[in-house]
Amino acid sequence: MILYLVRHGETAYNRDSLGLGRADVALTDRGLHQAAALGARFATLTLDRVLTSPLLRARQTAGAIAGERGLSIDVRDELLELDVGETEGMHLPQLRERYPEFLAAWLGPEAASVRMPGGESLADVAARLAPLVLELQGMGDEEVAVVSHNFVTKVLICLCLGLPLTAFRSFATDVASVTTLRLRGTRALVTSLNDRCHLDPVESSSPSG
């Protein structure tokens, strides 16, 4: 199968470099433009299913993709973003000041098992995503877009490739990006990573969010 891992378009939290987890915020005007560009990209591809996180920013992005194909959207709770707990809406300097011990652990070798203050760990996210990965691996020749979030996308890549979760820092998944995997059973091949070529030329060359 071909699996397209899509990160939602820009929100105000992404634009302003604020921590974003379960806050149910909408896309900015720029984010809506990015979602439309994703829709135009997928209009030229074969696509059998669109799965999405229930959070608004992901559903808006998924709607732009599915709408071009006349597909319904399959909302999946397991695609919710990492619960960042008390760090929701924080700038990094605030995080450093209020939670120095957490930040030191998060930046260390055991980051996958470190829970966000009042929230989840990457290991928690991986546990709820594992059944979905098995489901995707059993979809045969289908082409599926999964629209979600930064940490969810990173964890899905690690699970599909059999990488340790600590590898999440080894690749970028910018807003409105597409990462493409070819799955054959439990084997996976990356054919593109953090692809933003569907966006305007200036924007696609500069990381965001």
Is the Cα torsion angle 198, 55, 152, 104 positive or negative in sign?
A: positive
Q: Which of 8, 33, 149, 198 is catalytic?
A: 8
**Is 81 part of the annotated catalytic residue set?**
yes
Going residue by residue through the chain (209 aa), what tens digit of pLDDT does each one get? 999 999 999 999 999 999 999 999 999 999 999 999 999 999 989 999 999 999 999 999 999 999 867 789 999 999 999 999 999 999 999 999 999 999 999 999 999 999 999 999 999 999 999 999 999 999 999 999 999 999 999 999 999 999 999 999 999 999 999 999 999 989 999 999 999 999 986 575 444 33
Half-sphere exposure of 177 (CA within 13 A, CB side): 21
Q: Which of 10, 68, 78, 81 is catalytic?
A: 81
Q: Which residues contact 94 (CB under 8 A, 6 or more apart)?
A: none
- Residue ranges and CATH numbers for the domains of the chain are 2-204 (3.40.50.1240)
